Structure 1
């Protein structure tokens, strides 16, 4: 059995979409170790095909050569192959410094001398869906049928739910954040209206940056129905958040990393798209409903501006999100 090191991407959604690649590599006999930043590492611990996860001691910005050299010395001689999933120059340094003989990745930031096997980056607008993009690094074909799959150990789920005071399938998760910007976020007032129309508690998940956003959603609901919305933004570990999603009755989210997590767990969900496109990064689950006004022939006037992929609406109206009503999301949840 050969040993392979996977250099993971830095975003949760991208990490989820690498799972089919890892499943392919494991199925052909490669023993997999994933090197990941701490906020992504728990996603890889939910992939049974991964033997080990190494948390990188790197921060954003800079090459941090001293830290990379130190880690390279510790892992030297352990791996036959490295798969470098990010496109940056610094992500390809560790496999080179560790002397890993076969180093596979896409052409990126001046990486010709760092990688031994290089795939051409598809031109802008021609890139395939992200699962196929990552899976192509395996060298296999027929990549379009793969779906990411995550699995948390039942005992770990039970422990996390006990810590959070939750019970299986008795709540709906809202993930109202989107790191990219407000043009990907369904309005807080709409989330509040949806929460008031549900007959079960709502669990709000997100990072510490999204605490105020989640409180904006929860406050008007709890004023009318005390305790209906539980704001856990910034108060959970990623492992606890993964477990809460895995055990939820349903999930409502924007196009975000937690959307992909819910899809990989197979939880019934509604995914709301605005400035981005579900043609490129959809939730890959038969239990996912996607709402995107761009593809609605009955919506008038048509959204000729979508998808714009901007952080904020260039036209100032954000119709693509504002015009998706809470009633419409509720209808998609109850199908």
Structure 2
């Protein structure tokens, strides 16, 4: 009886969250983790997540356990899901499934977790037993949808609830090591993130990044271009011929990027996963939006200036510009971003 009463108020509840597959979404999921910890004191949170996301989750104070899922993006991986589910049986009271795909709900179902919450989608009726209908007008942001799944149905449907901001922990010792290993200077740093995994319709022209980098170096800054292995060539275009400009794309781990972004005075970034990382470490952001909408996936911080032209054709949410011109980004001049950086840098 005492155990039942304790579970009724959420104390000691064991919650498994099936996390998303993108860097930015995983950062935004921390708003849910914070909400769960605040609403259910003493609860324990485990997260099913791709192995690449572990360095992000380990920087979140609210996450007690990471259950790595060795499945590539877009792959079904039934054997891996079954194996993980077997290891989780009997260990959780409740599951919250953030992605809306059928396969994402498999692990909690196969793990026989009693209560399984998620939005209805892809015929998941047998896999979820606490199904929610997604009202896209009320839950008009990704982070709202994540947090809503951790709330009572009535409160979630009303859409009027707090959205705690993500906050990733920095590792100062690692930052010092990276600054030495990468040959970074003592100049104040501006980060640049030219990548956008979704597609080129979200990417500011590289020549604009280069022009901005040249101007910032002239103003006494160091420029750090961050991204993954796919962004190496883009980084080379940006830093070409510039002193105090470093192409770090593909040279750092995700955990290193967290610390290096936390060390920057500001970042200039496409709507990307690293933009959300920068927001979560408290760095001022100059956010560039083209095919996507700042209303749907804004950086969750007060330290952000949004650069968005709101042309008649945007947001189109397409990977490539359907009109073939990408004017939503090409008409966003480097001079505008430069002035915004200089105006807000102490």
Q: Same fold (TM over 0.5)?
A: yes
Q: What is the correspondence of 1:1-335 to structure 2 with a 5 Å cutoff?
A: 1-27=12-38, 28-29=40-41, 30-123=43-136, 127-140=139-152, 141=155, 142-166=160-184, 170-198=188-216, 199-219=220-240, 223=241, 225-226=242-243, 228-294=244-310, 303-335=311-343
Evaluate the alpha carbon distance shift between residue 3 and residue 161 of structure 1 in structure 2; reply closer, same or farther with a 3 A threshold: farther
> How far off is 1:132 after superposition?
0.9
CA distances 1:133-176 after superposition (whole Å, capped 9, x unpaired) = 11001115433543222222333433444443446773111001
Q: Which sections of structure 2, spanning at least 5 residues, go unmatched?
A: 1-11
* Structure 1 CA distance for aligned equivalents of residues 306 and 230 of structure 2: 25
C-alpha deviation, 1:178, in angstroms: 0.7
Question: Does the 8 A contact of 1:176 with 1:206 survive in 2?
Answer: yes
Whole-Å separation in 1 of the counterparts to 2:150 and 2:235: 40
Q: Deviations over 1:199-221 (max 9, x none)?
A: 212111111111111111121xx
TM-score of the superposed pair, with normalisation by structure 1: 0.90
Work out the CA distance in 2 between the residues paired with 1:5 and 1:44: 14
CA RMSD of aligned residues (A): 1.8
The answer to whether the 8 Å contact 1:271/1:291 transfers is yes
2:268 touches 2:287 (CA, 8 Å); kept in 1? yes
- Structure 1 residues without counterparts, runs of 5 or longer: 295-302
2:279–2:300 Cα contact (<8 Å) kept: yes
Deviation per CA, 1:57-93: give whole Å up to 9, x if none: 1223443222222122222111111111111111111
Note closer, same or farther for the CA distance 1:32–1:166 as it changes in structure 2 (3 Å cut).
farther
Q: Is the 8 A contact 2:201 2:320 kept in 1?
A: yes
How many residues of Structure 1 are paired with residues of Structure 2 in the alignment?
321
Residue 319 of structure 1 and its aligned partner are, at CA, apart by 1.5
Instruction: Provide the C-alpha distance between the structure 2 equivalents of 1:167 and 1:314, rounded to a whole number of angstroms.
Output: 42
Q: Is this contact kept in 1: 2:21–2:73, CA < 8 A? A: no
- The alpha-carbon distance between structure 1 residues 127 and 102, as it changes in their structure 2 partners (threshold 3 A), is same
Please, what TM-score do these two structures have when normalized by structure 2? 0.88
SS of residue paired to 1:88: coil
Q: Secondary structure at the match of 1:54?
A: strand
**How many Å separate the matches in 2 of 1:175 and 1:147?**
21
Retained in 1: the 8 A contact 2:258–2:281? no
Over 3 Å counting, the alpha-carbon distance change for 1:151 and 1:313 in structure 2 is same
State which drifts further: 75-84 or 137-146. 137-146
